[in-house]
Amino acid sequence: MVQSLKTKVLINDLIKEFEIQNLILNKSGKTISWYSSNLKIFSQFLNARGHSCNVSEIGMDEVNEFILHLRNKNKYEGHPSMPPQQKKLSDQTILAHVQTLKSFFGWLERSAYIDDNPVKMLGRPRISRKRIEILTRKEIYQVLSAIDLKTPVGVRDTAIVMTLLDTGLRCAELTNLKMEDTHLEQRRLKVMGKGARERVVPVGSKVHAMLARYIHQYRPEPASIITDHVFLTAYGRPITVNGIQLMLKRLAKRSGVRRLHAHLCRHTFATQYLENGGDVFSLQTILGHSSLEMVRRYLSLSSDHIVSQHQRFSPLDKIGPGGEGR
């Protein structure tokens, strides 16, 4: 029988150990960082309210009080560098905190730091689903037209944007793409996704041509002999996620498509894939989702788009009262 370890163990003393356990479980660096940040926020809340930070003394009352606090908190409130906004935290942000606490306290119980998990029965907050307005064909044309194809960086940026729009890759997956993973003859990419799950992602003929143009004509010499990344900076170093985000931000301003960002490209790909006749099961494989839950959301978005298109182009709605066209 495992002996309980519940003797004045504080949350902050366990965050590093929790990080190590998640590394062993092969959780992504982003997820681990997200867990640690959320746990520090929870610990700060307990301190500010005069509650114990001893994990064995935290109960459902403190957790519920914390969630209510999040519901009433403004975005960036208490942030060290960002000014607060007159806007509440999103449902997704609150769900992220709940998921962090459920994962953390589940680990505490399994590790015998606590005898009972106080959040075992804590439900998931309801998420209000906002309809995502995907990029239109006109906007995609505007974005691509705003890139100067006469420069090596322009060819690289075009290859990046086209790949995002044609494959739905996540930003981190794109930056981690290696030369040995690009099988241009077969028009496919080998991608390492979340949880170290490998998958094969096909590319269309236009992306194939642009990738080949970048790789064979414009990709700079790598700064190091061990660098095998496909997308490089002008100095031959692997481009980072932050580098792509900054590039897209500049491109959004230059093209006039202000809402452009990497994940919107993923949404656009998924929705248009279904609209063009693709099936949900192949889409699930291409996107690297472990379940159909998120893919079903794209199916809903696709249906919404079809309805809105019908409302614009309904044949009978175009006929006037006397039979004349409008």
pLDDT tens, position by position, 54-102: 999 999 999 999 999 998 887 766 666 666 766 788 888 888 899 999 9
Last residue in a domain, options 93, 110, 127: 110
Active site residues per annotation: 170, 194, 263, 266, 289, 298
Could you give the number of structural domains in the chain?
2
Same domain, 153 and 60: no
DSSP letter, residue 78: T
Greater pLDDT, 323 or 145: 145
Q: Per residue in 97-106, pLDDT tens?
A: 999 999 999 9
pTM, full prediction = 0.68
Number of Cβ within 10 Å of residue 263's Cβ equals 12
What pLDDT score does 281 carry?
A: 85
Residue 127 in domain? no
* Residues 145, 94 share a domain: no
Weakest-pLDDT range from 106-110, 191-195, 315-319: 315-319
Q: Specify whether 144 is located in the same domain as 281.
A: yes
**Residue 102 Cα to chain centre, angstroms:** 21
Residue 168: which region, alpha, beta or left (left: phi > 0; alpha: psi -120 to 50)?
Answer: left
Q: Which of 187, 213, 181, 215 is nearest to 202 (CA)?
A: 187
Do residues 46 and 186 both lie within one domain? no
Give the per-residue SS3 of 41-52: HHHHHHHHCCCC
Torsion sign across C-alpha atoms 163, 167, 168, 170: negative
- For 65, the domain range is 11-110
Residues 56 and 155 in one domain: no
Q: How far is CA 9 from CA 22, 34, 48, 252, in A?
A: 19, 22, 18, 48
Task: Looking at the structure, tell me whether residues 142 and 287 fall in a common domain.
Answer: yes
Cα–Cα distance for residue pair 221/224, rounded to 1 Å: 9
pLDDT tens-digit map of 26-53: 887 888 898 999 999 999 999 999 999 9
Q: What is the CATH number of the domain that holds 73?
A: 1.10.150
Under the banding of pLDDT at 50, 70 and 90, the label for residue 208 is: very high
